[in-house]
Amino acid sequence: MKILYRYVFREHVGPFFFGLSVIMFILVMDFILEVLNMIIGKGLNAFTILQVFVLNLAWMLALAVPMAVLVATLMAFGRLSQDNEITALKASGVSIYRLVLPALTTSVIIAGGMAFFNDRVLPELNHHARLLMTDIHQKRPTWNLKENVFIDDVPGYNILIKKIDPQSSDVRGVTIYDLKRRRMPRTIIAEKGKVEFTPDGNTLIFRLFNGEVHETDEKEPQRYRRVSFDRQTIYIHDVGSRLIRSRSDFRTDREKTSAQMLGDVRKSEAAVTGATQRMREAATLAWEKVTTYRQSEDTLSGETMVLDNLIKENQIVLNEILASKQDIKNKRRLINSLMVEVHKKFALAAACIVFVLVGAPLGVMARKGGMAVGLGLSLGFFVLYWAFLIGGEELADRQLIPAFWAMWSANILIGGAGIYILVKSAKEAKFISWEWTEKFVPKRFRKRPDERKLCKENKT
């Protein structure tokens, strides 16, 4: 039996890595198309680009591994069924449960590894990836002076240069529109000049000669001023193209471990309890004021005065109740969001086991071990699975269903269907009986029992 288990296991190894490679390639290509313009426009070096891809491979791997397990199961059992090896093993007394056991055992091990990866490794890599992408977005593009082209890379300035000497950095026909901290632009025109950077590369220096400055008085727009100069130096700061790496202790929910998120949940639940207590105390105080005014109604000049005083006294109390109610609503939404992420880490890992349960009998039914069948069925099931996750997450965020059912319903339904199909496949029974449809067929078109028996004999 060990030889059989090793044989079935080896049948899964090749398709697993093949499926993993194809799926990762698709995800990487989609990611490249998404960040291609940013990488080109920011002038990043090769090491930084490599970091971007390596850090983002983590979330791709979390999605690709369960799908690769499904591909491997479908292709392996499809190949065994196509070559009639499963039929031969059944004839030898080996049940389909024993054939599925090696794949199921391996999927449990993979699921355990993915649970650890999703909970401990993935959040840390997501954190570093977010910080890197934020730094890249804040990075200034590499300066590239071109003749007769407006340069608007630096916020607050538009620069036009008619002629550039690339060897000496001398320029001619310089026009600078200064919009920084101004409602009305200031225009600087010069016949010639020289362009250079400070040693740190973060400040651009324009040394201009024989020019004019045109500007409108912002306080009195009807006043216009023109100033001529023989020499003027303009400093434009924060134009460096260096990538400055930052650090941050702030983490989003996808950058935290389950323990950290459960800690946040406990804090939010404590906050909900406190807000509920404050709301009850405020409501009690308001009711006491109402009772007091009711008792003193006959001592006041009239009912109108009673109501006016009651509204004034309880306005602060009512505002506090409304603020506590909104705070409770926000905290509960946060709790649901955090619990969804906690369950998602382990539900995605458990999908490896679910896909073996549904993939093994489907592979036997397909009777083909080809790539198209394996990838096609895998894609269909994974789209269905992902639709369940997205829909469940949306319902949980709206507080319509608990976070557990939002994330685990896909595993329960698909896993249950897989077990049902597996049991039926082991019993070699029909999955669906269509005999009930005969009552909708007119009698003259129905086959008599002897005719149905004759049809079966002809088929055999």
Each domain of the chain, given as residue ranges in start order, spans 2-139+342-427, 157-237, 253-341
- The listed range with the strongest mean pLDDT (137-151, 169-183, 260-274, 303-317) is 260-274
Phi, psi of 272 (to 5 degrees): -65, -45
Q: Which residue has the higher pLDDT, 114 or 79?
A: 114
User: Is residue 79 within 8 Å of 369, Cβ to Cβ?
Assistant: yes
Distance between CA atoms of residues 389 and 370, nearest Å? 29
- Sheet strand arrangement including 186-197: 157-164, 170-178, 186-197, 203-216, 224-237
Assigned token pair, 446: 């129905």
Distance between CA atoms of residues 297 and 301, nearest Å? 8
Q: Is the pTM of this model over 0.75?
A: no
Please give the helix or strand (H or E) that residue 432 lies within, else none: none
369 pLDDT exceeds 50? no
Q: Note the pLDDT tens digit of each residue in 422-454.
A: 888 887 654 444 454 455 555 554 555 544 444
Alpha helices per DSSP H over 221-302: 258-295
Which of the four pLDDT bands, split at 50, 70 and 90, describes residue 3?
Answer: confident
User: Is residue 271 within 8 Å of 335, Cβ to Cβ?
Assistant: no
List own/partner pairs for 196-204 with CB under 8 A and 24 or more apart.
196/169, 197/239, 200/240, 201/240, 201/241, 201/242, 202/237, 202/238, 202/239, 202/240, 202/242, 203/235, 203/236, 203/237, 203/238, 203/239, 203/240, 204/143, 204/154, 204/235, 204/236, 204/239
